[in-house]
Every structure is written in structure tokens, then in C-alpha cells.
Amino acid sequence: MSERAAPSPQFAPAMTTPIGTHARAPVNVVLIGPPGCGKGTQAVRLAERYQIPHISTGEILRSAVRAGSELGRQVAETLTKGSLVSDDLMADLVRAHLAESDPARGFVLDGFPRTAGQARALDDQLGPAVMLVILIQVADAEIVRRMGTRRVCDSCRLTQSVADAFHPDSEPCPYCGGNLVRRPDDEPETVRHRLATYAEYATPVIEHYKTRRTFAVVDGLQHSDKVAAALGAYIDQFGAMK
């Protein structure tokens, strides 16, 4: 046994609060925007900046299946049948996830709510807590262009972006020399179809939020660093106003 005395309290490791969470109100953020607007990337950056959990619906579905909970079994069953997870089931999953997270910190939600009904359910769950809803706006033509330049390497599977004037034969994967191929999901026709589907469900969600003082629109055409800066400035400014 060590002869050394236990550290006196003043030398005990301080119960530190992670940077960004000290003495501030919870940061509750909902990011909405079309597929390809970059909200997944921005959600990750916000989660790091504010030390809050990133709640993406894709990850929730995967973790529910992994956990094998009752909800997870329902998800697995639905996905095995090749069906889409219903709005109600998705709302239950997000509710369960939020209930486990620390309300004093907050969250960044990515991919939810998808419907006005889910938006109302989220309002009910959060009660009086302030929630910032930010739409990352990008024109359809730009999304089609962005997706059109996305390639996945058929060897190392890394997804990367290529120049607009891309010649598949002359430009192999810079990491492994494999062939860069376009995923079927990124074909312009498919992207346009996804954008149309998105508009159908997103319009009522935007209607639900757009008259609130906590609703903001950020230009997603800018470089992703500028988008991140705009999101941070909005969140910080809103925090300072409270």
C-alpha cells in the first residue's frame, strides 16, 4: 500500500464542466434542410462546439436495432420488410432518446421532425424549453450538382467529391487507385425525386416553425465553414439575448 496520504480536497480533480457547457442555458437545436444541404456535417460540428449529443435519426434507428429493445425489435421488423419506419415509431424513438439525455446540456437533432405531427410531439415533450430551429437552405439545382459530383471508391469505399468536369478513366481514387463510381442514390433523377419527396414533408414542418422568433434560415450555399460560423453566431446571439 502506498504511504502517501490521499490527496487533500483542494488537490482532488475538479469536477470540471466540459468547455461550452459552463453556466449557459441548454442548447436545443433542430436542423432542417434538404438532403445534401450538409446538415449532418453541421450537426456534428455543433455537437462538438457545444458539447451536446448529436441525435440523428439514422443513428437512432441503428442503435435501437443494436440494443434489441422492444422499439428496436419493431424497427428491425420494419426494416427487414423493406418498409419505412412510421412517423409514430420514429417519434417514440426520439422521445426515448431525449428522455435519456441531459436536459441541462441540450441536443442537436438532425433528420427529425419529419412531419408537423412529429413537430407537435417534440413541442409537447420539451415543454417551455427554448428550441432553436434552423433551416439550412440550398437551391435544388445546387443539390443536384453536389450529389452529381459525389463518388464512392469501389475499392476502399471512401466517399469523395470530384470536379464537375470529371473523367472516370483518367482520375482514379487518390487514396488507393480504385475506380470512383457514382452511387445510384446520387444519380440526378434519383436526387430530384428525393428533393420532391423532401419538399412534400418539409413544407408543413417549416410552416409549423416559421413564425417563431427562434426560427432562422442559414444560407447553405456558402462554404461549410461559413455555414458553421453562421449557425454558431445565431445560437450564441440567441443565448446572449436570454
Nearer to Zn ion by C-beta: 156 or 229? Answer: 156
The one catalytic residue in 45, 105, 114, 151 is: 114
CA distances from 191 to 17, 81, 232 (A): 43, 24, 29
To Zn ion, the closest distance from the beta carbon of 114 in angstroms equals 33
The one catalytic residue in 24, 150, 182, 192 is: 150
| 143, 37 Cβ separation under 8 angstroms | yes
CA distances from 39 to 125, 168, 211 (A): 23, 28, 22
To Zn ion, the closest distance from the beta carbon of 44 in angstroms equals 23
Catalytic residue flag (residue 150)? yes
Catalytic residue flag (residue 194)? yes
H or E element, residue 198: helix 188-209
CA distances from 154 to 108, 176, 183, 190, 225 (A): 33, 10, 10, 20, 29
Catalytic residue flag (residue 226)? no
Catalytic residue flag (residue 45)? no
Catalytic residue flag (residue 39)? yes
Nearer to Zn ion by C-beta: 157 or 210? Answer: 157
To Zn ion, the closest distance from the beta carbon of 167 in angstroms equals 17
The one catalytic residue in 120, 183, 210, 226 is: 183
Provide DSSP, 207-238: HHHTTSTTEEEEETTS-HHHHHHHHHHHHHHH
CA neighbor of 31 nearest in space, from 239, 227, 241: 227
To Zn ion, the closest distance from the beta carbon of 178 in angstroms equals 4
Nearer to Zn ion by C-beta: 151 or 208? Answer: 151
- Distance between CA atoms of residues 203 and 115, nearest Å: 9
Given the rule CB under 5 A, which residues bind Zn ion?
Answer: 153, 155-156, 173, 175-176, 178
Nearer to Zn ion by C-beta: 181 or 196? Answer: 181
Q: Which residues are catalytic?
A: 39, 114, 150, 183, 194
